[in-house]
Amino acid sequence: MAAAAESGARAWLGGGSPGPGSPASSPDLGRGGRARPEPEPGAGPGSGPERASARSLGPAALGHTFRKVMLTKPTFCHLCSDFIWGLAGFLCDVCNFMSHEKCLRQVKTPCTSLAPSLVRVPVAHCFGPRGLYKRKFCAVCRRSLEAPALRCEVCELHVHPDCVPFACSDCRQCHQDGHRDHDTHHHHWREGNLPSSARCEVCRKACGSSEVLAGLRCEWCGVQAHTVCSLALAPECTFGRLRTLMLPPACVRLLSRNFSKTHCFRISERACPEPDDGDDGEDGGGPAGAGREVPTPESNKQTLKIFDGSDAVHRNRFRVVSVPRLARSEEVLEAALRAYYITEDPRGFELQALPWPLQAGDPRAGGKAGGGRTSEEEGGRGPRSREVSPEAWIIRTLPRTQDVLKIYPAWLKVGVAYVSIRVTPESTARTVVLEVLPLLGRQAEGPESFQLEEVFMGSRQVQRTVLADEESLLSRLRDIRQTSLRQMSQTRFYVAESKAVAPRVSLFVGGLPPGLSPQEYGSLLDEAVATKAGLVTLSHVYSAQGAVVLDVACFAEAERLYMLVRDTAVHGRLLTALVLPDVLHTKLPPDCCPLLVFVNPKSGGLKGRDLLCSFRKLLNPHQVFELTNGGPLPALHVFAQIPHFRVLVCGGDGTVGWVLAALEEMRQQLACPEPAVAILPLGTGNDLGRVLRWGPGYSGEDPLSVLVSVDEADAVLVDRWTILLDAHEAGGAENGVADLEPPKIVQMSNYCGIGIDAELSLDFHQAREEEPSKFTSRFHNKGVYVRVGLQKMSHARSLHKEIRLQVEQQEVELPSIEGLIFINIPSWGSGADLWGSDSDSRFEKPRMDDGLLEVVGVTGVMHMGQVQGGLRSGIRIAQGAYFRVTLLKATPVQVDGEPWVQAPGHMIISAVGPKVHMLRKAKQKPKKAGTPKDARADEVPTPEGGLK
């Protein structure tokens, strides 16, 4: 067998990964900006003879087949994004790349047909639900996304649903997955979909476009550049402005052998696309697919359904091509290959007529046409009319006596990207390894230490298969092509060390009964899901929260437990299962203080969902957690060993209190016991966020600017208060609303209300629980508050007769009031100053960290409205550090916006535990005259690390 080593340092292995048309592949630079050799055009794994490219006017190494076309509407160049003047442009027949004639020689963006072979490290995507993305373009076909499309939840990949099967598995690599560490972290370029105001990092000219897919952006550091200008940038990525907040991928380990990226990043399954969207094993239709109506062709053209293999026939997944009725068979075949982004020599393929309808799963085909072997005589025509020709065709590969196969060196430190060898019927996986090792300079090592791996780089799942030593490579390639030509183009072969990776998967299991011992939890799980003692151990037990972390020493067992736990209920409560990564805290850079982000998607309408996606893209998705999926505990467990980190809570005051309470419970287990907490307010009141200058609520600010503000924020102290609720009797409840309750403890940061304000909060809370879909905006929520308040105008409760108040062991006589409020911060009821600004010699000036609470009374709804309007303040009653309230009858109570009806008994409020560290947004500095609007993000001053 002939073998040829493809020379050139630094293959597309490790670091960032280019996408379809992504110029990460196009620059292909080594250090110092010198070009690396490009793979030959159209040479996928096991590629056949080179395609004769008579029409290839651009750089052949990029796989494009440009042809001159007449323009009938305004068109822009995909390289420089300028308007194409005149009537002619140059279009790639395969990927729709449009170019000026003058720009052809500068094209560095590979064709979609070649992009899979240029991916460094295959990483699957996590596609969210379909949505409308205006002014965005598909990364596969480069056309605009006019209909509902898909986007990756982790990177900036946008695709049509029908283009998903052809998207590269080139998502960001956010963790180690049992492979060798990277020496350096490279830019992860993504082409296009930049804002129109984007500026090139090199030439400082506009590089964004809303007309075409043009320009580049690194998905880690955010640097933007023209495709050509990117060649002048160093390949190493420093994570840019957010480097101190970023959890570096090299510091995260997660063995995800049997888990999809959706599971690894804890993306809820409701965000997954519909089954109709196609998956790794399916060929999504083109303009038409399974269950879609075939478009009516023009009078001089005919429409054909094209299948690329037996699997597509089985699934009824096809693509549609439109060809002239008098087209030659060779032209029909070329159109069919282009529809599947295949640029290999058409002489190696044929079209077979498919009987229609054909039984699903039957790979049998009818007559043949195309590929130089037609059922008609040489020079004959292809299908001429829909009446006499079948409407469905399948592409088949002609038998081959030998093939050319690319072998990649996986994680071996060698100086070549891959080697190409010729395989024959005698070639097996073992003989291929023996032939490849000398070409890689590893002949001194025993071949028994290496194995041949087949990797299918599907857009949703990367599947690895270790080939048996005696497996015939030529037969393997033939079987793959019979199954799917697309799958062949997305299959890669690696020679890798045969070291077994020790399986270890961490599974978080929540929703268990609290207060049990480790032995009891073990027995409970064994009874519920039949855990295997030899493979599963309890590494951590959080008894107070009713949660455990399991270490599973078998990938199959971990997958079984994960799927089973999520469908299991214990004591009537459904369990929660999460796959958790390991943070290698000893590898963190000295100035790194990662930001742990909590997002409550139920807050702020749909804004919480959008922020969740934005933060996953700006940071490492392993540091972004959805609170409705397991609460704060899983995130704190992951960050437990990090010596310094900060927290960002995206939600309302209740969400902030939830996270602060979890931090207090976990204090003893955290290497950073007092992380500073910032707030992105998404609720209705957002009083703590107002006090800390984060604003009255999120109104669509750029998420990047939010993270920069967090990095520049100042650390302040805020008191935390403990409230002991001890109900003594059940009598006196109105209509049986309140029953006898066991003593419980709640934490408070903002305020505690008893009486009329708690009653309004309770009515609002009940209305939202009944129809949550209507409470999607703060304006509507405040309108509901007003309506509920008007209904209470005539209500009189005489609260001062129903409660007793002691301050510092002293009985305090209450005036005639309807509501009693204990306030810790100078903001109540969406920003009102309840205490007032007037000086009073009886009391000290209130502060958030003075260890004192202010007690204020309100006389009713009218008084509350006047306070919120700034016309009055509350009735100052007391100030102290210890309070005892006696409820004589069931009374509404609310703490930080969470209301309930409290049974008669005692409430004890005291400052227990250390103060919490919060982050207060720094005051905005006035802009200097002449500062350009497009000032570089990395010119913003950054702290030296840690808290400011």
Buried b (16+ CB within 10 A) or exposed e, 235-258: bebebbbbbbbbbbbbbbbbbbeb
C-alpha distance from residue 918 to each of 47, 717, 751, 828, 921 (Å): 59, 6, 17, 18, 10
Choose the weakest-confidence range: 103-117, 596-610, 866-880: 596-610
What is the pLDDT at residue 387?
41
User: How far apart (Å, rounded) are the C-alpha atoms in residues 576 and 510?
Assistant: 5
Q: What is the mean pLDDT of residues 810-832?
A: 90
Q: What is the mean pLDDT of residues 638-650?
A: 96
Of 242-246, 325-329, 437-441, give the range with the top mean pLDDT.
242-246
Q: How confident is the model at residue 772 (pLDDT cuts 50, 70, 90)?
A: low
Q: What is the mean pLDDT of residues 552-572?
A: 90
Complete DSSP assignment for 558-589: HHHHHHHHTT-EETTEE-EEEEE-EE-GGGS-
What is the pLDDT at residue 921?
94
The average confidence (pLDDT) of the chain is: 80
Choose the weakest-confidence range: 190-194, 472-476, 738-742, 745-749: 738-742
Helix/strand/coil for 526: helix
* Tokens linked to 834: 């309840």
What is the pLDDT at residue 785?
52
Q: 503 Cβ partners below 8 Å, 6+ apart?
A: 255, 257, 552, 553, 554, 555, 558
Domains in the chain and their CATH numbers? 66-106 (3.30.60.20), 301-355+390-396 (no CATH), 399-497 (3.10.20.90), 505-580 (3.30.70.330), 723-728+742-920 (2.60.200.40)
What is the pLDDT at residue 638?
96
What is the pLDDT at residue 793?
57
Query: Is residue 305 pLDDT above 50, yes or no?
Result: yes
The amino acid sitting at 241 is R
What is the pLDDT at residue 773?
56
Count CA atoms within 13 Å of residue 59 on its CB side. Answer: 21
What is the pLDDT at residue 255?
87
The tens digit of pLDDT for each residue in 210-226 reads 889 999 999 999 999 99
* Tokens linked to 68: 């001159």
What is the pLDDT at residue 370?
43
User: How far apart (Å, rounded) are the C-alpha atoms in residues 662 and 647?
Assistant: 12
User: How far apart (Å, rounded) are the C-alpha atoms in residues 402 and 318?
Assistant: 29
Query: Is residue 649 pLDDT above 90, yes or no?
Result: yes
Query: Is residue 336 pLDDT above 90, yes or no?
Result: yes
First to last CA, the chain: 65
The tens digit of pLDDT for each residue in 571-610 reads 888 999 999 999 999 999 998 999 999 999 877 666 788 8
Q: How confident is the model at residue 376 (pLDDT cuts 50, 70, 90)?
A: very low
C-alpha distance from residue 850 to each of 103, 241, 512, 717, 873 (Å): 67, 36, 39, 9, 21
Query: Is residue 636 pLDDT above 80, yes or no?
Result: yes
User: How far apart (Å, rounded) are the C-alpha atoms in residues 773 and 193?
Assistant: 32
Query: Is residue 819 pLDDT above 80, yes or no?
Result: yes
Query: Is residue 12 pLDDT above 90, yes or no?
Result: no
Long-range contacts of 786-795 (CB under 8 A, 24+ apart): 788/760, 788/763, 788/764, 789/760, 789/861, 789/864, 789/865, 790/861, 791/763, 792/756, 792/759, 792/760, 792/861, 793/860, 793/861, 793/862, 795/756, 795/861
The tens digit of pLDDT for each residue in 520-545 reads 999 999 988 888 878 999 999 999 99
The amino acid sitting at 385 is S
Q: What is the mean pLDDT of residues 651-667?
A: 90
H/E stretch holding 624 reads: strand 624-626
What is the pLDDT at residue 776?
55
Q: What is the mean pLDDT of residues 435-459?
A: 86
C-alpha distance from residue 799 to each of 97, 725, 749, 902 (Å): 74, 18, 24, 14
Q: What is the DSSP letter of 358?
A: P
Query: Is residue 377 pLDDT above 50, yes or no?
Result: no
Query: Is residue 381 pLDDT above 80, yes or no?
Result: no
What is the pLDDT at residue 937?
37
Query: Is residue 45 pLDDT above 50, yes or no?
Result: no
Higher pLDDT, 796 or 902: 902
Q: 796 Cβ partners below 8 Å, 6+ apart?
A: 818, 860
Q: What is the mean pLDDT of residues 428-453?
A: 87
User: How far apart (Å, rounded) are the C-alpha atoms in residues 625 and 945?
Assistant: 23
The tens digit of pLDDT for each residue in 671-695 reads 998 999 999 998 777 889 999 999 8
Higher pLDDT, 644 or 765: 644
Q: What is the mean pLDDT of residues 898-906?
A: 90
Q: What is the mean pLDDT of residues 299-325?
A: 89
Q: What is the DSSP letter of 843?
A: S
What is the pLDDT at residue 783?
56
Is residue 790 within 8 A of residue 728, CB to CB? The reply is no
Query: Is residue 570 pLDDT above 80, yes or no?
Result: yes
What is the pLDDT at residue 771?
61
Of 31-40, 259-268, 745-754, 918-927, give the range with the top mean pLDDT.
745-754
Query: Is residue 176 pLDDT above 90, yes or no?
Result: no
451 alpha-carbon distance from chain centroid: 33
* Tokens linked to 399: 């038998």
Higher pLDDT, 517 or 789: 517
Q: What is the mean pLDDT of residues 900-920?
A: 90
% of the chain beyond a pLDDT of 90: 40
Residues counted in the chain: 948
Q: What is the DSSP letter of 161?
A: G
What is the pLDDT at residue 505?
92
What is the pLDDT at residue 621?
94
What is the pLDDT at residue 271?
55
Choose the weakest-confidence range: 206-210, 446-450, 776-780: 776-780
Choose the weakest-confidence range: 99-103, 142-146, 179-183, 232-236: 179-183
Choose the weakest-confidence range: 372-376, 598-602, 757-761, 928-932: 372-376
What is the pLDDT at residue 24?
34
What is the pLDDT at residue 287?
40
What is the pLDDT at residue 285?
42
**Residue from 678, 618, 626, 607 nearest 648 by CA:** 678
Complete DSSP assignment for 420-470: EEEE-TT-BHHHHHHHHHHHTT-TTS-GGGEEEEEEEE-SS-EEEEEPPTT
Q: What is the mean pLDDT of residues 142-152?
A: 91
Query: Is residue 57 pLDDT above 90, yes or no?
Result: no
Q: 683 Cβ partners below 8 Å, 6+ apart?
A: 603, 604, 651, 652, 653, 654, 655, 697, 778, 897
% of the chain beyond a pLDDT of 70: 78
Q: What is the DSSP letter of 236?
A: B
Instruction: Bin 81: left if φ > 0, else alpha if -120 < ψ < 50, else beta.
Output: left
Q: What is the mean pLDDT of residues 140-167?
A: 92
